[in-house]
Structure 1
Amino acid sequence: MELRHLRYFVTVADEKNFTRAAERLNIAQPPLSRQIQQLEEELGVVLIEKGSRPLRLTEAGKFFHAHAQELLDKAADLKAMTQRVGKIDRKFAIGFVASTLYGLLPEIVRRFRERYQTLDISFHELATIEQIQALKEGRIDVGFGRLKIEDPAVRRVVLREEPLIVALPAGHRLSKTEGPIRLSDVTQEALLVYPKQPRPSFADQVLAIFRERMLFPQKVIEVRELQIAIGLVGAGQGVAIVPKSLQGMVRTDVVYKTLDDPGAVSPIIFSVRQMDRTPELVNMLEVIYEIYDELGISHVKHVL
């Protein structure tokens, strides 16, 4: 059994049609059918129900499909990782969500670059879900995101849980209250969430926090990106739930207030390819934990 057999079977299963699968694989249909038949003979089980329209997998076929896809993902992961490790001119691509630029990411990269000056470092603003695909395709080496997206080809390290705060227009009634404010108070306001696309995103994370507490904002406005959300808050068009690090975004028309809810947090997640153990990744994690320790930030130590 070879990788091509797995690829042929997974494509047939995904397309639910031999003709479409053959076109996608750029081969003739008869050879494809023979390859699947040979695979069944080698395994000694029937993978595809005979005569089913549309094509249906047997229980054995469903089991084999899931694990075949996982093996193909790992093979692609291994290929991308090996190609990067084998390059003489070492490049290191970092994917990030915009909100991490207001936290410690700039200092992390500055210190990392200072210590490893031979690396050619590039940056790519990508939503968390886009980072997962970019990692699998070898376009980036590490991603800094906020969503816990499960993918067998990607390894995730939750660096810390960052508290969420509320961004309010200057002069807003809630900005004048003493101490933290409650999430229930925010439901009476127009809630600006971002990004609008792609989904799932930080917007879904924020809305889930309300749902988990049986709270439902009266009005939700989806906007394209963080900067637009903050700009609209400053213009008095609503309020936004944002990571605490955004307090560094100083504006005279926006006030930030803490929430009276310790469970309202957003994780900062370090994502890499599952099999990747290159020195650059280990070194970057060491820099991250070093900075966290210096600042007294609570974190869970994790070694790749």
Structure 2
Amino acid sequence: MRYFLTVAEERNVSRAARALRITQPTLSRQLKEFESSLGTELFVRQNKELVLTEAGLLLKSRAEEILELTERTEQEFQDQKKALFSGHVSIGCVEADNSDTVAMMLEELVNEYPQVTFTIFSGTSDMIVERLEKGLLDLAVLIEPVDTKQFEKLVLPHEERWGLLVSKESFLAVQDEIEIADLARIPLLSSSRTEVAAMIGSWAKESGVSFQIVGTFNLIFNVIPLVENHVGSAIGIEGALSAWNLDRLKFLPLVPEVKTKCVLVWKKHREHSPLVAVLLQYFKDAFEA
């Protein structure tokens, strides 16, 4: 897998062999044997470079995940040996105003165990859930509404307020809030998540109107230019916008008020490393009722 990924990155067997510190014939032989075992070509030659085939592209994404999981498993065994004197923890976080909560827990962990290292992975709920299921993340902070049946969860106290992001040049910008029923007359941009779509459908049913969804998105920062240029107004949570410069935009809270909470989730029946178990206990001690 490492040989294959290196050739894919270098696009040249000679350069890959130098990077791997092995001979070119050895690498070529290993690559041919690998293709033979899979029963398909992984590379084709184009303009004196090796380019991934469709099968190669599929394998590349899988290989990166397999190697990352392998390295994490090896690291967990090392963590077991070293107990809690050192180790690594990976946490996934969605776009929401939950960074203070995670920072507070990590600060306590690092103060207690100074050699600890950590990774924060930011992305959509779907991306984070996928990595959590594959074992590439230890814990994750997600924003409701979200399906957590396959996970253990801890509800965090911070609430996120839902509203509408509009251009300051919009006729709506003179308002300080917006009623859910008023969304019917506005071109809307909304999250592509199934749970959010269901929640918006529930709002529409309760208000007795239909909403005009002109576009969907997975991360809010991609939508900001669309709102600025009047393509539509975006439905989202206030906390996801806190890190952005919104000089040309305005957030209007929904009326009646809609709030949802963040949840800390982890895989059911998974044996955590001692380090992750300690961090999880910090969260439970702080927030579990």
SS in 1 for 2:120: strand
Extract unaligned runs of 5+ from structure 2.
Answer: 1-72
- Aligned equivalent of 1:141: 138
Q: 1:117 to 1:208 in 2, by over 3 A?
A: farther
- Aligned equivalent of 1:302: 288
Aligned length: 204
Say whether 1:244 aligns with 2:238. yes
Q: 1:84 to 1:272 in 2, by over 3 A?
A: farther
TM-score, normalised via structure 2 length: 0.59
TM-score, normalised via structure 1 length: 0.57
Identity over aligned residues, as a percent?
Answer: 15
Structure number with the higher strand fraction is 2
- Aligned equivalent of 1:253: 248
Extract unaligned runs of 5+ from structure 1.
Answer: 1-78, 290-300
- Aligned equivalent of 2:226: 232
SS in 2 for 1:233: helix
Q: Is the 8 A contact 1:96 1:145 kept in 2?
A: yes
- Aligned equivalent of 1:279: 278
Q: 1:302 to 1:106 in 2, by over 3 A?
A: closer
Q: 1:113 to 1:151 in 2, by over 3 A?
A: same
| Backbone CA RMSD of aligned residues | 3.1
Q: Distance in 2 between matches of 1:105 and 1:174?
A: 33
Shift of 1:224: 4.2
Question: Match for 2:128 among 128, 131, 147?
Answer: 131
Query: Which aligned runs of 4 or more in structure 1 are off by greater than 4 angstroms?
Result: 82-85, 201-208
Q: Is the 8 A contact 2:188 2:234 kept in 1?
A: yes
Q: Distance in 2 between matches of 1:130 and 1:169?
A: 29
SS in 2 for 1:157: strand
Q: Distance in 1 between matches of 2:78 and 2:181?
A: 49
Q: Distance in 2 between matches of 1:279 and 1:271?
A: 15
Shift of 1:107: 4.0
* Superposed counterparts of 1:75-114, under 5 Å: 86=80, 88=82, 89-100=86-97, 104=100, 107-108=103-104, 111-112=107-108, 114=110
Q: Is the 8 A contact 1:129 1:149 kept in 2?
A: no
Q: Distance in 2 between matches of 1:224 and 1:108?
A: 27
Q: 1:207 to 1:252 in 2, by over 3 A?
A: farther
Q: Which amino acid aligns with 2:107?
A: R
Q: 1:255 to 1:83 in 2, by over 3 A?
A: same
